[in-house]
Copies of this chain bind each other. A is one copy, B any other.
């Protein structure tokens, strides 16, 4: 074995379709396109990019696999709402509907996230958390279940932790969490109980009390798990 090692660098070559895919994503963010917006037709896009339709097609396959776009036969190419691949979601769901697993993962991540949030939250973070709390309260007062507000709250807390990796992991299981969330909030009286739990978490984060935030979050997640386990 020669240990010649990485001297002048591996020097990897880029394929055309990769460049095309990058140009497309760049174009998307430049024009601030959102989910549901359409890309130009393939023929037109191909000529304006100066590549053949086959190459453009490869680029679109790549973007499709990543989860950026959805190519629809006879219709067109539209942007997808999930910029990141939640392949995990698919994998887990395909394997078995393991709700308890989701709860465990959520507990692991969010307990830590709450502690970090208590230590690192900025005023802006607190404002966002407060807004989510209010949104959920309003929704419940209006007779709703506060599903959206619940989601906003957890996202705000996650962002307040300022930990990219943990945030990434949360986003990976967000789809799975959403299902348990709806399940949970459909139980009578549950929305108000859940809101109270949120308030407790928010207070601890605002106070900068990591241990209390962590404990409150743990209790909250366990509350949710009650439901999930019932139907297991």
Contact, CB under 8 Å: B169 / A169: yes
Determine if A173 is an interface residue (Cβ-Cβ < 8 Å). Answer: yes
Nearest-Cβ distance from residue A110 to partner chain B, whole angstroms = 9
Closest to A88 in B: B168
Give Cα distance in the complex from A57 to B15, angstroms: 12
* Binary per-residue interface labels of chain A (70-90) against chain B in the complex, 1 for a CB within 8 Å, 0 otherwise: 010100000000000101100
List 4 other contacts, CB 8 Å, given A13-B73, A101-B164.
Answer: A61-B61, A85-B85, A85-B87, A101-B163
Closest to A101 in B: B165
Q: Give chain A's interface residue range (CB within 8 Å of chain B).
A: 35 or more
Give Cα distance in the complex from A168 to B93, angstroms: 13
Q: Which residues of B contact A113 (CB under 8 A)?
A: 108
Give Cα distance in the complex from A98 to B92, angstroms: 28
Q: Which residues of B contact A57 (CB under 8 A)?
A: 54, 58
Contact, CB under 8 Å: A92 / B61: no
Q: Which residues of B contact A64 (CB under 8 A)?
A: 62
Q: Contact partner of A163 among B13, B58, B62, B104, CB < 8 A? A: B104
14 A-B pairs in the complex with CB atoms less than 8 angstroms apart = A13-B73, A58-B61, A61-B61, A65-B65, A92-B168, A98-B164, A101-B164, A101-B165, A101-B166, A102-B165, A107-B112, A108-B111, A109-B109, A169-B172
Contact, CB under 8 Å: A91 / B168: yes
Closest to A108 in B: B112
> Which of A54, A95, A163, A165 has the most CB atoms of chain B within a 10 A radius of its CB?
A165
Nearest-Cβ distance from residue A105 to partner chain B, whole angstroms = 4
Contact, CB under 8 Å: A108 / B166: yes
Q: Which residues of B contact A104 (CB under 8 A)?
A: 112, 116, 163, 165-166
